Structure 1
Amino acid sequence: MPRTIRLLIAYDGSGYHGWQRQRQGEPTIQQELETRLAALCQQPITLHGAGRTDAGVHALGMVAHFHTSGTMPLAAFSKGLNALLSADIRILGAEEAPANFHSRFSALGKTYRYDFFTGPVQLPGSRFYQAHCPGPFVPERLEPALAVLVGTHDFSSFERSGSRDKEATGGRGAVRSLSRISCVPVLARPGHWSIRFTGDGFLRQMVRILSGTLIEIGQGKRRAEEAAAILATRDRTAAGHTAPACGLFLEKIHYSPQIFCPLAPCSQPVAP
């Protein structure tokens, strides 16, 4: 019976066209991993990720699984892969998973983090890992908006235009549940901020549009009281700008312990 192997993956997405394999042949995280896994396992491998990340987006705790008939030890899927991969992709752990485990469909939710810097001059070394949003930022301004956004809503206003067939039937459409949103300073460094979102699922570019809108509120460019009206319009043009991809990190995929004992993702950025 084929084995189900689950990987915990961190990557710097700066040089990739996102997670998902592309027909045009642009480099992607999935394609790079599948190529290395095929060489390691001596068989074609299809890697199933817990979700997709866009070009330039990073991950600290992406989960993916694949099936193999090989008998090689688990260490080969971490140490062996890391020896084959470029330094911008790391395997943090590998485990045997139950046959019915699926990285995407077994997941209960995800946590994303959006990092940004509001000072006047951004250091060159951080430009791929933080959005630069210069200007005064007051996190307390966000509190009324966060209270509105947490919960179950139709988040059409925070979805990339044209990314979903609005006429399709079935499924849950644009309805998602956010259980927590927070905005905190980073390591007491002036002007460095992180917004974290935990929810049962996210629409295309939803975190980046939410982040762009919240940053505008924190900088006084729009009022927090607008959040309810933005949700109600179900119109992308009502929300704020789409924050740059460079500040976004997929931090963790959440699973039930009864289904799978989760590996712990690293808590540090991929690069300074």
Structure 2
Amino acid sequence: MRNIKLMIKYDGTRYKGWQRQDNTDMTIQGKIEGVLSRIIKEEIEIIGSGRTDAGVHAIGQVANFKTNSTIHLSEIKKLLTTYLPDDIVVTNVEEVQERFHSRYNAISKKYMYKIWNDDVYDPFLRKYAVHIKKELNLEDIKKAITYLTGEHDFTSFTTDKSKKKSKVRTIYSIDIIKNKQLVEIIFHGDGFLYNMVRIIVGTLIEVGLGKKKPEEMKTILDGKNRKLAGDTAIAKGLYLLEVEYKDHIIE
């Protein structure tokens, strides 16, 4: 049996997220599986490196699926390009070892969050960045970030209420890139909890607006209580940027 890996980019604006759902066909996974099942003439189930929420975008999503078909890789890519909606693009199709698993083999991920920081919004980014009118204090945000890097229990920064799963994660780095009014926050970590990046961003925005002090990050982490952190930043500013595997980075 062949194991096929896909590299995928998508604009998540009009979708209900990555994961296939029974009550809607507007999911990224569902759209790709539908096309693959038709062109390969098998019932195909793809496994993604992670489940992005409704409205979240991806630049470097990775997925894989198993098939008995002998169809050529170039034909798969060509037909996916032809039949997928314009806002979902498979950029690469590759045959990999049978044991490769896009989710379980991932050792780290990068996410990016975009903020348009100006009193007037950019109409071209209205679907792809959160608009913050008041100028953010980036120096305070950078101070707050120092409390978040490293290994921590991120219970305060997730909406996952499961008591069975560990909330301990390691953030290797959080970088801020400012290009005029556009602020990009890039997270690199060994894994992220449900809504973790968006809650961290929402809290950092509050720091940047002077609603919280940078030093409060330690109290929020230690408190292990979701109510201590800021609001969950809206989905449209979030991008799955890159997935790293043991042998190499897939980007």
What is the aligned partner in structure 2 of residue 156 from structure 1? 155
Distance 2:37 2:134 in 1: 48
CA contact (8 A) 1:183 1:196 kept: yes
CA contact (8 A) 2:242 2:250 kept: no
CA contact (8 A) 2:25 2:31 kept: no
Partner secondary structure for residue 195 of structure 1: strand
Question: Percent of aligned pairs with the same residue?
Answer: 41
Distance 1:109 1:46 in 2: 23
Alignment map for 1:246-261 (pairs within 5 Å): 246-257=236-247, 261=248
Return the offset for 1:140: 1.2
The one-letter code matched in structure 1 to 2:246 is S
Q: Do structure 1's residue 182 and structure 2's residue 162 form an aligned pair?
A: no
Task: Output the TM-score relative to the length of structure 2.
Answer: 0.97
Distance 1:219 1:46 in 2: 44
- Can you list the C-alpha shifts for 1:215-263, whole angstroms capped at 9, x where unaligned? 1112222100000000001001100111010000000011122xxx554
State the 4+ residue runs in structure 1 displaced beyond 2 angstroms: 261-264
Partner secondary structure for residue 15 of structure 1: coil
- Can you list the C-alpha shifts for 1:165-204, whole angstroms capped at 9, x where unaligned? 22x2xx5x1111100101111xx32x21000101111111
Partner secondary structure for residue 143 of structure 2: helix
CA contact (8 A) 2:140 2:214 kept: yes
What is the aligned partner in structure 2 of residue 227 from structure 1? 217
Partner secondary structure for residue 8 of structure 1: strand
Return the offset for 1:97: 0.8
Alignment map for 1:13-24 (pairs within 5 Å): 13-24=12-23
Alignment map for 1:9-48 (pairs within 5 Å): 9-48=8-47
What is the aligned partner in structure 2 of residue 116 from structure 1? 115
CA contact (8 A) 1:93 1:263 kept: no
What is the aligned partner in structure 1 of residue 206 from structure 2? 216
The one-letter code matched in structure 1 to 2:28 is I
Return the offset for 1:123: 2.4
Task: Output the TM-score relative to the length of structure 1.
Answer: 0.90
Distance 1:30 1:112 in 2: 19
2:162 aligned to 141, 153, 165, which one? 165
The one-letter code matched in structure 2 to 1:118 is N
CA contact (8 A) 2:243 2:250 kept: no
Q: CA RMSD in A?
A: 1.2
Give the total of aligned pairs.
Answer: 251
